[in-house]
Amino acid sequence: MAEKVAVDRETVKNMYGLAGKAAIVTGATGSLGAAIAKGYGYQGVKVMLTGRNEGKLKALREEFAAEGIDCAYAAGDPAKEEDVQRVVDATVAKYGEVNVLVTAAGVSIPNSILQQDTAEWQSVMDANVRGTYLYAKCVAKAMVKQGKGGKIVLVSSARSQRGMKGYTGYCTSKAAVDLLAQSLACDLGEHHINVNTFNPTVFRSDLTEWMFHDDNVSANFLKRLPIGRLGEPADFVGIASFLASAASDFMTGANVAVDGGYWAN
């Protein structure tokens, strides 16, 4: 007689459930961070919204709370360790623990290396690499202290594996985020903390809205996207939810393309 298939019904039914988890979402006032934070909130996650602009955070919290989402906010600079620690401490004080981190904060300042000021390049690295590292470090320490494991989801980019003219700062920073995730996975695996990235292609935001209205630029870019369209912030709620859930428990150190097929073409 064949052995019974070793899949538990209740585990499968609940593997995507996030209700009751406490998450920090950085860059929450940006289009991607806001979409992920709201998507988490709709699933019953308690969300700490963070970013630099306190006014925008307050307005976002009011919007979410009006829809019944349990959320709070704490402003701070992700590149300043004291700010990061304060946000993590505020989350633990508010919700008792932190189970999920999503680092959606980041910047891009396109410019040729021949013209870009070194300080400008450094500001991209600080926002995209230093800020990601500091949040991962402070949250990981909190998770280890809690002893329950956790999920760290780093937002990278399809540009982490593709160079581009004028993007020596951005591409380099996102390649660093990919390797950071792999190294963190090795550091934190023994504590049952999973660390992965997802790597978007171009999606609608304040910085990219023009691309959606420039037929020439859009048509040329779409030649590289088998899926046939540019991204929307809501396209990334699913992968952010999967990487925060028990469904991804055997997955760590991965760089997941959510790019409309950009890496495949």
- By CB neighbour count within 10 A (0-12 exposed, 13-18 middle, 19+ buried), where does 147 fall? exposed
- By CB neighbour count within 10 A (0-12 exposed, 13-18 middle, 19+ buried), where does 212 fall? middle
Q: Identify the CA nearest to 156 among candidates 32, 8, 1.
A: 32
The model's confidence at residue 86, banded by pLDDT at 50, 70 and 90, is very high
Share of the chain above pLDDT 70, in %: 99
In this prediction, residue 4 carries a pLDDT of 83
Other CB atoms closer than 10 Å to residue 204's CB: what's the count? Answer: 18
In this prediction, residue 1 carries a pLDDT of 58
Catalytic residue among 73, 167, 170, 262: 170
Q: State the chain's mean pLDDT as an integer.
A: 94
In this prediction, residue 235 carries a pLDDT of 95
* pTM, entire model: 0.94
In this prediction, residue 79 carries a pLDDT of 95
**pLDDT digits 0-9 by tens, 38-80:** 999 999 999 999 999 999 999 999 999 999 999 999 999 999 9
**pLDDT digits 0-9 by tens, 228-240:** 988 999 999 999 9
The alpha carbon dihedral of 33, 36, 41, 46 has a sign of: negative
Decide if pLDDT at 142 tops 80: yes
170 catalytic residue (yes or no): yes
What is the H or E stretch that residue 22 is in?
Answer: strand 22-26
Q: What are phi and psi of 226, to 5 degrees?
A: -55, -25
Decide if pLDDT at 210 tops 90: no
Give the CATH class of 19-260: alpha beta
Decide if pLDDT at 151 tops 90: yes
